[in-house]
Amino acid sequence: QESNILFRLLEAQQLAADLEFRVVHGDANLKKKSIEISRYEKRLKDMIGTASMLIRKYPERDDIVRVYFARAGAYEELKQVAAATKDYDYLTTRFSKTNFAMRGNLSLAAFSTDAKDYKRAIFYLKRIEAEPEDPHYPFAIYQLAWSHYNLAQIPASLLYLKTYIDYY
């Protein structure tokens, strides 16, 4: 039962982190003061610890993709891009047809775009393009247009913009 209890703990920690984020931002807005995120970051680190334990002890759980996704998201929030990339890469490769993988591809593309590595961003976005029924498809097409534009590949950029317009 430890596996199920740890998974429930991870879900509770994720909910607590989400609530902490909202409270901290709401409080800062109301009081017109800077945002203090140390408690939020502590909750994210707790999530990472629980997720890591689940992955180490129960790697064959049916819903392990959710655990990887939660940990990757926590790493991403903490700006630990290398660790987030490792988890997103694993889940997009091992669980390629899941919604979590498609969302992971978007994060990987965003990391690549932030690093101005547009060819790599295109690599991740094309994974989503291959699934036109996926809800992330239109956003991926839009990002593909900009990635090609940033590589001075104007004809490809315009083609993706046309596809984006046609989609809507």
Supply 9's token pair. 């703990």
Q: Quick check: 51 and 60 in contact, CB under 8 A?
A: no
The segments of the chain whose pLDDT lies below 50 read: none
Q: What is the pLDDT of residues 38-67, one digit of tens each?
A: 999 999 999 999 999 999 999 999 999 999
Helices (H) and strands (E) in the chain, counts: 8, 0
In degrees and rounded to multiples of 5, residue 67 shows phi and psi of -70, -45
